[in-house]
């Protein structure tokens, strides 16, 4: 069974870039250190925030359909919970490592903080290829993994959500497992669930919608008058498709998209309805007759107004940053821009909306889902979209003002705000006992 990405990632995202120079967690610490320097964080506070609070490794058996028993390895990591319960997705991928889970947990702390959510950051994962499991095996694995990490998760402690390789059905199994342990339904135990059991309206489109809101705000700030602005999207999964549709509705022109197999480009604009029909039949965007074939690398260097890298990490590096021709980058994927590429883009005047806010739409609406579950009172999708717009645009202008006032790039400004808020909470709470 091929599992759709629950925090709405595309098939291209299932390919994970391997960092050869430094680990993912070292890169996360490096970004934190830069922000800590900007805000003048004390050494004592810095030492605490550079490390994760908890890391749980579990090895658990699962009965397979052929009667055999396979032992899988999984993790749940909490980076910081000073601002509230931990929040973070669960990823199923064969090449996942503890190091990457730690990095993603830290990123979730800053992501929740920068948009003002009362959460800390966490992440979970199982080293497995979900596409190779039957539906029954996937359910057995999920329920056993949920049981193993149940000591950490819950509505007041740590709230999982879908991520790469997981989906609303996986969240439903986790919620049901926690509920069976508790003896009553606990819908707030996870977010990203089906609407039928307490999921939120607007959750599926939330990452793409948040990226769209930010792109439109940035275009206004930059006074870009391209008529219409053109867009290239790398990673045409749920996030990419949602963003493409919503940006088109807002008057922008999608000229290129790609997935793991390659991309398509039409400078006159892509017919998204025809492309989606082609994609359903062919299993990807390549071969679409109303556009020319391009590679993923070529897509990044197209002469467009907006570039949305929404696939894997480290696609914009020091090697190709000088060839990027977009005027605005909305970093839809985590760490799509490598650290060494940030100053190059900034010096060239390319405006970057960094990942910790660009793809925060999902966790913002997950927060709304958690709140709705806790109060057993649900909102209409229009209200959710309005609240999402308010939260994410307010955060954008907070970051923009910090960037301008401190004369630093947008990523560093976002991290500075996020780290300062977490540091404030950590210091005012003090050290127990």
User: Is the backbone peptide bond immediately before 319 cis, with ω within 30 degrees of 0?
Assistant: no
Q: Known catalytic residues?
A: 123
Rg of the chain taking only CA atoms, in angstroms: 21
Contact 391, 368 (CB under 8 A): no
Query: From CA 258, how far away is CA 296, in angstroms rounded?
Result: 6
Count CA atoms within 13 Å of residue 383 on its CB side: 9
The CA distances from residue 365 to 7, 76, 315, 384, in Å, are 11, 22, 27, 7
323: phi then psi, degrees, rounded to nearest 5: -105, 0
Edge-to-edge order in the sheet of strand 328-330: 292-294, 262-265, 253-259, 230-234, 306-309, 328-330, 351-353
How many CA atoms within 13 Å lie on the side-chain side of 20? 0
Asked whether 119 and 41 are in contact (CB, 8 A), the reply is no
The sheet that has 120-126: what strands, in order across it? 54-63, 69-80, 120-126, 86-92, 158-162
Q: Which of 372, 359, 319, 308 is nearest to 341 (CA)?
A: 319
Nearest-CA neighbor of 393 among 182, 230, 219? 219
Compute how many other C-beta atoms are within 10 angstroms of the C-beta atom of residue 393: 15
């Amino acid at each position: 069974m091929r599992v759709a990405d629950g925090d709405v990632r595309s098939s291209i995202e299932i390919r994970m870039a391997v960092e050869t120079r430094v680990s993912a967690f070292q890169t996360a610490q490096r970004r934190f250190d830069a922000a800590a320097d900007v805000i003048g964080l004390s050494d004592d506070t810095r030492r605490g925030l550079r490390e994760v609070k908890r890391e749980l490794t579990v090895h658990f058996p699962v009965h397979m359909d052929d009667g055999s028993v396979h032992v899988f390895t999984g993790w749940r990591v909490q980076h910081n919970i000073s601002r509230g319960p931990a929040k973070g997705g669960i990823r199923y991928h064969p090449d996942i490592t503890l190091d990457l889970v730690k990095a993603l947990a830290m990123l979730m702390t800053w992501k929740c903080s920068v948009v003002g959510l009362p959460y800390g950051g966490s992440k979970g994962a199982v080293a497995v290829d979900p596409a190779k499991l039957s539906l029954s095996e996937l359910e057995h694995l999920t329920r056993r993994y949920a049981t193993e990490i149940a000591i950490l998760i819950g509505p007041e402690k740590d709230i999982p959500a879908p991520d790469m390789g997981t989906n609303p059905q996986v969240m439903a199994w986790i919620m049901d497992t926690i509920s069976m342990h508790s003896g009553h339904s606990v819908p707030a135990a996870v977010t990203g669930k089906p609407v039928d059991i307490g999921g939120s309206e607007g959750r599926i489109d939330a990452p793409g919608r948040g990226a769209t809101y930010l792109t439109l705000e940035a275009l206004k700030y930059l006074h870009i008058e391209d008529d219409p602005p053109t867009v290239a999207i790398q990673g045409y999964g749920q996030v990419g498709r949602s963003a493409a549709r919503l940006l088109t509705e807002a008057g922008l022109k999608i000229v290129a998209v790609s997935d793991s197999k390659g991309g398509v480009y039409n400078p006159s604009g892509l017919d998204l309805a025809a492309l989606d029909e082609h994609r359903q039949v062919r299993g990807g965007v390549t071969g679409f007759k109303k556009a020319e074939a391009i590679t993923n690398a070529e897509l990044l260097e197209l002469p467009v107004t907006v570039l949305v890298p929404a696939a894997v990490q480290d696609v914009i590096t020091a090697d190709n940053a000088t060839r990027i021709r977009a005027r605005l980058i909305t970093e839809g994927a985590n760490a799509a821009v490598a650290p060494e590429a940030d100053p190059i883009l900034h010096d060239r005047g390319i405006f970057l909306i960094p990942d910790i806010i660009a793809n925060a739409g999902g966790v913002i609406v997950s927060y709304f889902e958690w709140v709705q579950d806790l109060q057993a009172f649900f909102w209409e999708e229009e209200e959710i979209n309005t609240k999402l717009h308010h939260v994410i645009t307010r955060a954008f202008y907070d970051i923009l003002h910090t960037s301008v006032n401190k004369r630093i790039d947008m990523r560093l400004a976002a991290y500075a705000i996020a780290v300062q808020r977490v540091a404030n909470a950590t210091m005012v709470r003090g050290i127990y006992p």
